């Protein structure tokens, strides 16, 4: 091998893979409650924190939904790049994020508020707008947007 033998560079293709689908009867997300209903149906009754990304088109119609991160009983370490990856691959105009609180208390933690701001700022740079962050509990929810957290 000579000094100029070169470096192999992988040629890749990134794809979004549809695993399955769920029927959303309203067709459009018009309120935090609409987002809560869809997200609650998607995650069901899980015993750990799940951070969800709901991707929307320009008419606020859901195009895909993904669990971006699964945490422990009371915490989830989320990074904006993991949240926005699906939104980029699905050509989303906007997103709504959400996560459940197995404790069944809707109050946001300092970390919830912090990650909301980070996702919002990162999304603005990419032209993907964060419409809301929903905290999901068994029979209720809290909209961080409606509560004025961002």
Instruction: Label residue 144 by pLDDT band (50, 70, 90).
Output: very high
- Is residue 27 helix, strand or coil? coil
Distance CA 101, CA 114 (A): 16
Question: Which pTM does this prediction carry?
Answer: 0.89
Structural class in CATH, domain 32-143: alpha beta
Question: What is the reported pLDDT for 2?
Answer: 59
pLDDT(72) > 90? no
pLDDT(1) > 70? no
Asked if 131 and 93 count as a contact pair (C-beta separation under 8 A), the reply is no
Question: What is the reported pLDDT for 45?
Answer: 85
Give the residue, 48 or 119, on which the prediction is more confident.
119
pLDDT(74) > 90? no
Choose among 122, 110, 123: nearest CA to 149. 110
- How many CA atoms lie within 13 Å of 9's alpha carbon, on the beta-carbon side? 2
Instruction: Label residue 32 by pLDDT band (50, 70, 90).
Output: very high
Q: Where are the domains of the chain?
A: 32-143
Residue-wise pLDDT for 78-130, tens only, equals 999 999 999 999 999 999 999 999 999 999 999 999 999 999 999 999 999 99
């Amino acid at each position: 091998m000579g000094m100029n033998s070169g470096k192999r560079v992988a040629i890749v293709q990134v794809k979004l893979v549809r695993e399955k689908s769920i029927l959303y009867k309203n067709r459009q997300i018009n309120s935090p409650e609409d987002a809560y209903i869809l997200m609650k149906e998607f995650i069901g009754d899980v015993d750990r924190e799940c951070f969800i990304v709901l991707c929307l088109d320009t008419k606020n119609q859901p195009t895909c939904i993904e669990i971006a991160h699964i945490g422990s009983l009371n915490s989830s370490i989320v990074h904006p790049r993991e949240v926005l990856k699906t939104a980029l691959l699905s050509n989303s105009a906007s997103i709504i994020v959400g996560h459940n609180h197995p404790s069944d208390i809707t109050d946001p933690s300092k970390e919830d508020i912090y990650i909301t701001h980070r996702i919002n700022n990162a999304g603005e740079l990419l032209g993907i707008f964060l419409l809301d962050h929903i905290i999901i509990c068994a029979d209720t929810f809290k909209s961080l947007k409606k509560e004025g957290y961002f």
